[in-house]
Structure 1
């Protein structure tokens, strides 16, 4: 399938804003390593650059590379292929290592984007230029629309505490001037739910007798491409980054990475939204997030709208994701990490001669390390380790500052908790040591696998101590509501294994050699 037409194609933005292709890098603002993949997907832009003697990006054009979801993209040319160590004969149709890798790629990598592109179905078809349109994937998990009309007469956000009302629109209050296929749309309502589908918002989509923008039926018209987003918990990094990774995947479905876009927070309540990771929006838009309540009582029209993938979809990413065992490393998560770090201007300062270790210290009531000082002292006694302790508390350290620490850590150690989502931003040779998984073994192990970094956790239960039984007012006894102590010798055994892995990683060695200005870092020894 070819790249999608319409939508938020950055190509159109670039070519309309300048007669020559001399500024696309500023518009794209992509990591340099991503540019060949972008140009290979945007053929018209690549041709324009080839024909322009002043275009400085010719070196990125004509490479036999692809993200993975493009038509005729060969496996060997993909951005990244997963690594699998075993064949999971009991997991679906995966009977060989190669079939297992293919399944992992479809579950969690650009294969997920490829499958959504194959599902794209027209729900409302334009009949002439300037008409509206609506297309969606299965279960209305992702949709895009043009010249869409929305009447928020029923929003009443000041008197409503429900963030995701399902009865917001009546007939005629959402739609466009296009030929509607109502049976197609109604067939995709089986996942109707706040954070799993857009069906509740689009269920009443109507074929309108007027052309909303052309016939001046709108109080407000948004000319910029616009993403409408229903968000998970903004105070929890694990859940909130489900929003961000799905937005990034949606950009691939849509074929655009422009920051010249609006992002509307689809929240039907008048409540505030605590977002302690709000700096991350700068990786996606140059403008502040718009709350839906700004359009209370208004008729809003959007020329180019995207309803992105949602954070808690059935078999979604990465929440509720069934992940085949034995595989790690996805191009999608690696590219997401590089994309965010690039746009937030977070750079890698290493590797150094020593292994950089960061211990996450918790200032919360539960899951604190009882003998934290003892473990820190043990690590500091090892000459090959450079050790620091940090508290990723947003009141003490801004999120960009946290990312800078994580990107410049080789080994990240911490108790089970949302802070371990930082594993997404470790360098390629990085290691996540989840000190104790608190009886939730898959969560951060899977996240590390998706990013492609090594994962360790505590293995010997008898070498953990706790001073009290865990108790929570509503949950009761649970391993997550306990503080723990750890045997220093066993702790250091795992740390040493992790350090061995890091120092032997080909990318760690290659980068270290480059920084030392030698093809062999041992030349002078």
Structure 2
């Protein structure tokens, strides 16, 4: 008996040291869902005395795309208390439409669409599995031959050329459903599908897994991405939110992955938000041009959801009226903040934190900004700051400021995308939407935040008619002044919402109790 006990202890000790629990690096509220989708890791944690997450294991939680996932177990469910504007007859239909197009239900639909186009018959074989229209694909032992045609052509400005992978230059060793694959071209477009890159996928006479025909082999899981504009936060974060959604489809959140940027031009890609890649990979971002002239084999490849898909998240999304609060977008926000180590320091005991976003651009400036600031600062409850988000302010610092803003105010512009990272109780005020009413109001609804915009146009002064370079008069190409009394009415409306929000009240209470406990400990 004694020998058996000793033998067990040795085995157990070896098991404990085998898993690095720090590598999970997920928000605590996400861990029960991770363990549910990784039963082997769940079991290891429950049996490992050194696992710090044992309380998170064995819970009946699900994101919403898993088999037999009941609504009561979902991460969150949307609030559809608003007017559906005749889109659907009943509340259930309204809720389902929002959930299936703007929440984890969208991923359930993509998972249900997955079709095997390159079928393996052995471990050495390749595979290619894609959602409808090739909006998302996952491949194993895939071969990409960039030795026949140059990836970049001089000063060619097309970032998504379609002529670099012809027949025989992309494929795998497998049973190929060529007709089925070729039928998926309806959404062919650079940022809507991967059809252009996969349309010539071929069944090859050799095994990419055996590496004889490969100049470069990627053994780590590898994401290949086509990106939207990196200088615009609204557009670039369509890339990031879809990469996060694709991690869910791939059921993996490890940062030990390669990311290859599919860009067929030699022109630089301006990325003002490059620090965000730290949330997804520990390694250098690889430009496609690094592979020029090479035959490339990838053991495990993911072609993620794209930024401008039809009915995608969130650029081309006709959002269901009357609903707000996408669990997918909330989870994305929490994931980014956690991995970039952005922490909530509030709420303040007696103040409501207000940030006014200042633009130092040619158009959409607030002409009477100083007067508006003076009016807000005259109220002692408001803790007012001005932020100018530009390249001189590191993006992590921008996120810290936005995440600690109870009220975030700005005129129409990509900087308002920071609303994604405000706390759950927050309000975003789009001072004037410049005749583009859906853009940031929809984004706020996705994030689940209160959205306010200018209501009385007669209390708004436009500098001139606006001067678009080609379209003539345009509301986005001029500057504005705002009536101070009306402005303060909207600010107080926002402050009332924050002050009475249940999560704000609870957060204040928790912070007060924490401070009290620390004072007691110091006295002892």
Verify same fold: TM over 0.5. Answer: yes
2:166 pairs with 1:133: no
> Quick one: distance in 1 between partners of 2:428 and 2:50?
45
The Cα shift of 1:22 comes to 6.3
Equivalences for residues 80-91 of structure 1 within 5 A: 80-86=76-82, 88=84, 90-91=86-87
In structure 2, what is the equivalent of residue 339 of structure 1?
Answer: 335
SS of aligned partner of 1:300 = strand
Counterparts in 2 of 1:239 and 1:210: CA distance versus 1, 3 Å: same
For the 8 Å contact 1:87–1:96, the answer to whether it is kept is no
The worse-fitting range, judged by mean Cα deviation, of 268-277 and 510-519 is: 510-519
The Cα shift of 1:215 comes to 4.8
In structure 2, what is the equivalent of residue 483 of structure 1?
Answer: 479
In structure 2, what is the equivalent of residue 35 of structure 1?
Answer: 31
> Quick one: distance in 1 between partners of 2:276 and 2:379?
36
For the 8 Å contact 1:89–1:95, the answer to whether it is kept is no
SS of aligned partner of 1:279 = helix
5+ unaligned residues in a row in structure 1: which ranges? 1-17, 521-525
For the 8 Å contact 2:125–2:209, the answer to whether it is kept is no
Counterparts in 2 of 1:366 and 1:87: CA distance versus 1, 3 Å: closer
5+ unaligned residues in a row in structure 2: which ranges? 1-13, 517-524
In structure 2, what is the equivalent of residue 349 of structure 1?
Answer: 345
> Quick one: distance in 2 between partners of 1:89 and 1:184?
39
> Quick one: distance in 1 between partners of 2:22 and 2:199?
39
For the 8 Å contact 2:211–2:297, the answer to whether it is kept is no
TM-score (norm 2): 0.93
Count of residue pairs brought into register by the alignment? 500
In structure 1, what is the equivalent of residue 116 of structure 2?
Answer: 122
* Match among 267, 275, 280 for residue 279 of structure 1: 275
Provide Cα deviations, 1:240-263, integer angstroms capped at 9, x if missing partner: 000000000000011000000000
In structure 2, what is the equivalent of residue 393 of structure 1?
Answer: 390
2:106 pairs with 1:112: yes
The Cα shift of 1:155 comes to 2.6
The Cα shift of 1:501 comes to 0.3
2:399 pairs with 1:403: yes
For the 8 Å contact 1:21–1:49, the answer to whether it is kept is no
* Match among 49, 52, 58 for residue 45 of structure 2: 49
Provide Cα deviations, 1:173-221, integer angstroms capped at 9, x if missing partner: 1000011001110111111111101000000000000002315110000
For the 8 Å contact 2:36–2:59, the answer to whether it is kept is yes
The Cα shift of 1:158 comes to 4.5
> Quick one: distance in 2 between partners of 1:156 and 1:149?
16
2:373 pairs with 1:379: no
Equivalences for residues 311-350 of structure 1 within 5 A: 311-350=307-346
The Cα shift of 1:518 comes to 8.3
SS of aligned partner of 1:287 = coil
SS of aligned partner of 2:452 = strand
In structure 1, what is the equivalent of residue 501 of structure 2?
Answer: 505
Equivalences for residues 114-513 of structure 1 within 5 A: 114-153=108-147, 154-159=149-154, 160-352=156-348, 353-394=350-391, 396-513=392-509
Provide Cα deviations, 1:217-274, integer angstroms capped at 9, x if missing partner: 1000001100000000000000000000000000001100000000000001111100
For the 8 Å contact 1:221–1:302, the answer to whether it is kept is yes
In structure 2, what is the equivalent of residue 7 of structure 1?
Answer: none
* Match among 39, 61, 67 for residue 65 of structure 1: 61
In structure 1, what is the equivalent of residue 519 of structure 2?
Answer: none
For the 8 Å contact 2:16–2:49, the answer to whether it is kept is no
